Amino acid sequence: MESGANNDVVVVGGGVIGLSTAVVLAERGLRVRVWTRDPVERTTSVVAGALWWPYRIRPAAAARAWALRSLDVYEELASQPEVTGVRMVEGVMGETALDEKVAWAAARLPGLRASTAEEYAGSGLWARLPLVDMTAHLPWLRERLVRAGGVVEERAVGGLGEADAPVVVNCTGLGARELVPDAAVRPVRGQLVVVENPGISTWLVSTGADGEMAYFFPQPGQLVLGGTDEEDVWSTEPDPAVAEAIVRRCAALRPEIAGARVLAHRVGLRPAREAVRLERELLPDGRVLVHNYGHGGGGVTVAWGCAQEAAGLVGPAA
Per-residue CA distances from 42 to 116, 118, 138 (Å): 39, 38, 10
Q: Which residues pair with 193 in a beta bridge?
A: 225, 265
- Taking the C-alpha atoms of residue 245 and residue 277, their distance in angstroms, rounded to an integer, is 34
Looking at residue 5, its pLDDT comes to 47
Q: How confident is the model at residue 210 (pLDDT cuts 50, 70, 90)?
A: confident
Indicate whether 45 pLDDT > 50. Answer: yes
Indicate whether 279 pLDDT > 60. Answer: yes
Q: Which amino acid is at 78?
A: A
- Taking the C-alpha atoms of residue 128 and residue 90, their distance in angstroms, rounded to an integer, is 4
Question: According to CATH, what is the number of the domain 1-88+130-184+274-318?
Answer: 3.40.50.720
Indicate whether 316 pLDDT > 80. Answer: no
Indicate whether 214 pLDDT > 70. Answer: yes
Beta-carbon contacts of 289 under 8 Å, excluding residues fewer than 6 positions away, are: 160, 167, 168, 169, 170, 280, 281, 282, 283
Indicate whether 4 pLDDT > 50. Answer: no
Give per-residue pLDDT as tens, 283-311: 999 999 999 999 999 999 999 999 999 99
Beta-strand pair 186-195/262-272: antiparallel
- The domain spans of the chain are 1-88+130-184+274-318
Give per-residue pLDDT as tens, 113-171: 999 999 999 999 999 999 999 999 999 999 999 999 999 999 999 999 999 999 999 99
Q: How confident is the model at residue 263 (pLDDT cuts 50, 70, 90)?
A: very high
Long-range CB contacts (within 8 A, 24+) of 310-313 = 310/21, 310/24, 310/169, 310/171, 310/278, 311/21, 311/24, 311/25, 311/28, 313/278, 313/279, 313/280
Indicate whether 183 pLDDT > 70. Answer: yes
Looking at residue 219, its pLDDT comes to 97
Indicate whether 6 pLDDT > 80. Answer: no
Q: Where are the alpha helices (DSSP H) in the chain?
A: 16-27, 60-77, 81-84, 103-106, 134-147, 176-179, 240-253, 299-314
Looking at residue 60, its pLDDT comes to 96
Give per-residue pLDDT as tens, 228-238: 999 999 999 99
Indicate whether 78 pLDDT > 60. Answer: yes
Q: What percent of the chain has pLDDT over 70?
A: 97
Indicate whether 318 pLDDT > 50. Answer: no
Beta-carbon contacts of 116 under 8 Å, excluding residues fewer than 6 positions away, are: 126
